[in-house]
Amino acid sequence: MRRHTLKRLSLCAAIGALAITAFAAAPSRAAEDAVIIPPPAVDAQASNGIQTAVIAGGCFWGVQGVFQHTAGVVNAVSGYAGGSKTTADYNMVSTGATGHAESVEIKYDPKKISYGKILQIFFSVAHDPTQLNRQGPDSGTQYRSAIFTANDEQKKVADAYIAQLNAAKVYRKPIVTKVGPLDAFYPAEAYHQDYLTLHPTQPYIAYNDIPKVEALKKIFAENYIEKPTLVSNAKVTN
């Protein structure tokens, strides 16, 4: 079952009242699904200048929303990674045949947040890393869990952290997140950017993604910021 795309918002509206009622009855559903996990034993060294992390964990709306509320993140952009430039298009990616995953490019200040902390939030509240080629109601390889590494240090941290969490058995099932090199990241269409903030009452967002931000606020209070860092307002220098 694919998530409600923009082409299907009329269907979404038709079931909107039911979805919002369900959300109101269980507003902490995703927060309950979030897992409190230990920080990484191996982390990247702090460095000067803005750094980049690219991750994929289901629908990019929710992942982007979580990191837009994370202190130290100067920009979080929804987009595509894992495929070619010619197929970095929402309609094509949605077929599941392009190799792309819906991804988020995170620009962050390593003096304020580490790469390891970003992965801790990613594994804890942003998605479920034990689901293979799906997240919640969304299925297909475009919704896979993945970390696209920019350098050897990121790969070392990601591999070590996955091994650490699996050894600690913090999840009931093994982590299926794939770690591989980032070839390129392609920003998604403008209507996908800042989607959680712009459409907080859209049923998919209200039921699946707002609770992720609530879980961030609860579990990572020291890393949470109330005002999101939006793509429309971001000023990033490398």
- Average pLDDT over every residue of 11-37: 49
Q: Answer whether residue 210 shows pLDDT above 90.
A: yes
Q: Give pLDDT, residue 232.
A: 87
**Given this model, what pLDDT does residue 235 score?**
67
Per-domain boundaries in the chain? 6-223
Catalytic residues: 59
Class level of CATH domain 6-223: alpha beta
* Two structure tokens written together for 135: 């997240």
Amino acid at residue number 205: I
Strand boundaries in the chain, DSSP class E: 51-57, 73-81, 101-108, 134-135, 138-139, 145-149, 178-181, 185-187
174-204 pLDDT tens trace: 999 999 999 999 999 999 999 999 999 999 9
